A and B are shown apart, each in its own frame.
Chain A
Amino acid sequence: MLEDILSAGARIAVPILFAALGEMLIERSGLLNLGIEGIMEVGAVTAFLTACFTQSIGFSLLFAILTGLILGLVYAYMVINLYANQVLTGLAIWVLGEGIAAFAYKVFLSKLPSITIDGVPRLPIPYLEKLPLLGGIFSQDLFLYASFPLIFILWFLIYKTSFGLAIRAVGHRPTAARDLGISPIRIKYLCVMAGVSMMAVGGAYLTLTITNAYYHPTPYIGIISLRGFIAIIIVILGSWHPVRIGIAALFFGIADATQMRLQNLYPAVPTYFYIMLPYLAAFITMVVLRRGDKPLDLSNAYVQEK
């Protein structure tokens, strides 16, 4: 039971984790991107459609990242070059992404060879999969394994390299960084591009391995069903630190997996109460935990002197 909850929790955590790590990188450069939901949705639908037509996981990922990048660049241009309000732009990107995804799915639905895909195969790691308790986590797919090195790479990039120092500086005080010959605009663009790629991969994970299908039940809430917004909470929960974000995402995944099992155990309680539980847990921890490494210049427009 416990091992089961752990492995299910890890699977639930992966898309949120990818998105949260991407958002963390973007916020580190001083931009607040609330459009995660839309970017993930576009990533999810592109990955699904590409997988339907080509049966290639590699192509699915590539196209998911490309479409995510297009949306991300629109966002970046709006907020970096046109100094648009970041909150509003982010929300616009969300709604735009939902619209594009629903539209693309409608257009291709009649031409699809099948409405489900094979998905990413599971690759149990020899020996590790037999571990008590943790075994479940080590009998998953490549995406899930990839999240561990990704966390490490981001941590190393941010805290151990000169580039990471520059990113942090831009998030705190872009004018100071500019005076030292760092281009805040370039760093913001790079962070947005890397960040939205991770978000798109997070969306792709959902269709490629969890659902193996795509659906878009309501105009504004598609298959991502607000995971993008949970990612924003996870970033704050993990206080902009890759490792802590990893823990926070796993914590949320486990809470979600637990509530699903509780639903079966005690069916007398209304379902909505259970669905609320992980959010409640996240909310409480967010209030209790310290704020940590928040970028000081988050969501302020950077205007370059001429």
Chain B
Amino acid sequence: MSEYIVEMKRIVKRFPGIIANSGVDFRAKPGEINGLLGENGAGKSTLMKILYGIYQPDEGEIYLDGQRIERLNPAKALKIGIGFVRQSIKLIPDFTVAENILLGYQPPFALLNLKKRRQDVEDLAERYGLNIDPDTKIKDMELAGQQKVEILKALFRKVRILILDEPTSSLSDIETEKMFQMIRKISAAGVTIIYITHKIEKALELSNKITVLRRGEVVGDIPLSECRISKEELVDLMVGESIALRTCKYTTEIRKGEIPRLRIENLCAGSADWGMPLKNISFDLFDGEILGVAGVSGNGQKELAEAVFGLRAKTAGCLYFSGEILARQSPKEMIARGVFYIPADRDGEGLLQDLSILFNANVEVHSCEPMASPGFLKTFGIRTPLFQNSRKMKNYAEGIILQNRVNPPNPLAIVKHLSGGNAQKVLLGKVLACSPKLVIVHNPTRGLDVKSRAFVHERLLELRKDGKAIILVSDDLDEIEELSDRIAVMYEGEMVDIMPCGVSRSLIGKRIAGIKG
């Protein structure tokens, strides 16, 4: 009998153009909480997808209880007691909690027997202190609840090893704390937990052992019970080079008499059945300024960003751009004026997933000189740019890749194969290359590792230094405090206050909760 419940030896996994794992060794002792730490694209998820049989390793061996396991697939993995809660929720939205948990649990022609089974589900939820109604449909649940269902689904199958891939990435602090309590409870029940994260504090708080991955290799395997390690040391391990954690503060400049880049007066937009309606929003935004927009997600921040960009029709109010009233407001018009929007939903709204970096970089500019030209038609007096110049487009994309250190540095790489950080670099880079006057960014660093996050912040600060105006909408209060010159707080579609930077956290917290006094 082996000391380890799981042993992965010299795992190698290659993808076109990328080596995700190059000879990774990973082992876990029974009943422990194992932190798997690394930046985006370090190969954490790939390693665990191999352990769960979603990917086949190109080389390497997997042992469970000392026994070699070959040709693993998800069905087999579940059968031998490995459960995997993926980062993106893999539940059927139209099914109830009970149906989702039962899916694939019984042999094909077994009767569902929903009544009895839903009782089992309820009992199990109770045992782990979860308040879940088995008859609720997933699409009617909050994200935190859906995550609990995912974990419950694994527990229902009596897994011995539970892999959690960034389970707290979209949870609030209170929900994260609850999730940690639950994970400890599960661990206490004898389940080995592998916890994938890029957040150092979280890994330190929860784990018995931390394995650090960098660029597909293990750079540290640290049993926390035996030795102590500081946060800084872990950052160094993860990133490979020291990056100073930035603590910058800016003083507000008083800018009376200057024409604001953007002035919004009594803006109202939207209706209740499509997001949060905006009520009477007014503010000025000057060049060289970052306006942070804070608030609990869903209080109209996204709607505000979309209304300014012209994606959402306003019902009342005026917008002035450089003192000029915006009569017609469409994204096309706004882009022509130099206003760009970087949406929070990178995959869905920001980038074209199935196309290459080359195409994504050229989306806004492909029909302008010099990416396109009238070519020989010019001799006939035709000025419409009809012909694409593919070499210019490629150079343009390569420029963006170089400036933003996108990995892989290949303009033909398909965007959906990039890690989150690299995808965000492409998105940010293509906007910056258009020399914008006003940029609206929404959650620009969500799900990004320390290094990419620092990079994004650096680019935003550069932009500010160049005298551009930035609206930074973010759920991450640290980010807002770090970068903003002024902090606006949204609550139920209203802008409750605009404060200078440097005000106390507790005051911001009060405003976020909707308390005006």
Contact = CB atoms under 8 A, between A and B. Distances in A.
Given A161-B112, A162-B109, A179-B84, 17 more contacts: A160-B112, A161-B110, A162-B108, A165-B95, A165-B99, A169-B104, A172-B93, A173-B91, A176-B90, A176-B103, A177-B92, A181-B76, A183-B75, A293-B94, A296-B93, A305-B54, A306-B56
Contacts of B91: 173, 176
Interface string B1-13: 0000000000000
B95 A166 contact: no
Interface string B84-116: 101000111111000100111111111110000
Interface string B413-446: 0000000000000000000000000000000000
B514 interface: no
B109 A178 contact: no
Given A162-B102, A176-B90, A182-B104, A169 B95 contact: yes
A181 B74 contact: yes
Given A180-B104, A181-B79, A163 B109 contact: yes
Contacts, number: 84
A296 B94 contact: yes
A196 B344 CA distance: 44
A51 to B, nearest CB: 34
9 contacts: A163-B108, A166-B108, A173-B90, A176-B90, A177-B104, A178-B74, A179-B86, A180-B78, A181-B79
Contacts of A305: 54-55
Give me the 6 closest cross-chain CB pairs, A-B, nearest first. Answer: A181-B75, A180-B104, A162-B106, A176-B90, A163-B108, A172-B92
Contact of A177 (B52, B103, B111): B103
Contacts of B108: 161-163, 166
B22 interface: no
Nearest to B110: A162
B73 interface: yes
Interface residues on B, range: 20 to 34
B107 to A, nearest CB: 7
Contacts of A179: 52, 54, 74, 84, 86, 90
Interface string A173-205: 101111111110000000000000000000000
A166 B100 CA distance: 10
Contacts of A176: 90-92, 103
Nearest to A159: B112
Q: SS class of chain B's interface: helix, strand, loop or mixed?
A: loop
Contact of A181 (B56, B86, B104): B104
A296 B94 CA distance: 9
Interface of B: 52, 54-56, 73-79, 84, 86, 90-95, 99, 102-112, 153
Contacts of A306: 55-56
A227 interface: no
Given A176-B91, A181-B73, A181-B74, A169 B103 contact: yes
B59 to A, nearest CB: 15
Contacts of A160: 111-112
Contacts of B74: 178-181
Contacts of A181: 73-79, 104
A161 to B, nearest CB: 6
A299 to B, nearest CB: 17
A165 B112 contact: yes
Nearest to A178: B74
Interface of A: 159-166, 168-169, 172-173, 175-183, 293, 296, 305-306
Contacts of B103: 165-166, 169, 176-177, 180, 182
B43 to A, nearest CB: 16
A207 to B, nearest CB: 34
A162 B103 CA distance: 7
A205 B110 CA distance: 32
Q: Is the interface of A mostly helix, strand, loop or mixed?
A: helix
Contacts of B90: 173, 175-176, 179
Contacts of A161: 108-112
B316 to A, nearest CB: 34
Nearest to B94: A172
A158 to B, nearest CB: 10
Given A162-B102, A180-B103, A168 B86 contact: no
Contacts of B111: 160-162
Nearest to B105: A162
A177 B104 CA distance: 7
A173 B76 CA distance: 20
Contacts of B78: 180-181
Contacts of B52: 179
Contacts of A178: 74
B152 to A, nearest CB: 13
Contacts of B76: 181
A179 to B, nearest CB: 5
B86 A162 contact: no
Contacts of A182: 75, 103-104
Nearest to A165: B103
Contacts of A168: 92, 95
A180 B73 CA distance: 10
A166 B104 contact: yes
Contacts of B56: 306
A255 B198 CA distance: 63
Instruction: Kindly name the residue among B52, B94, B110 whose own CB sees the greatest number of chain A CB atoms within 10 A.
Output: B94
Contacts of B107: 162
A228 B340 CA distance: 49
Nearest to A175: B90
A162 B56 CA distance: 28
A176 B74 CA distance: 11
Nearest to A157: B109
Most B CB contacts (10 A, CB to CB) among A162, A164, A305 go to A162
A163 B109 CA distance: 6
Contacts of B77: 181
Contacts of B105: 162, 180
A54 B266 CA distance: 83
Contact of A169 (B84, B92, B109, B153): B92
Residue among A178, A183, A293 with max Cβ neighbours from chain B (10 Å)? A178
Contacts of A183: 75
Contacts of A159: 112
Contact of A165 (B55, B84, B102, B153): B102
A168 B100 CA distance: 11
Nearest to B91: A176
A169 B104 CA distance: 9
A302 B105 CA distance: 22
Contacts of A177: 92, 103-104
A284 B505 CA distance: 59
A293 B94 CA distance: 8
Nearest to B92: A172
A136 to B, nearest CB: 36
Contacts of B84: 179
A183 B74 CA distance: 10
A180 B54 CA distance: 11
Nearest to A182: B104
A220 B55 CA distance: 46
A178 B110 CA distance: 19
A301 to B, nearest CB: 12
Nearest to A163: B108
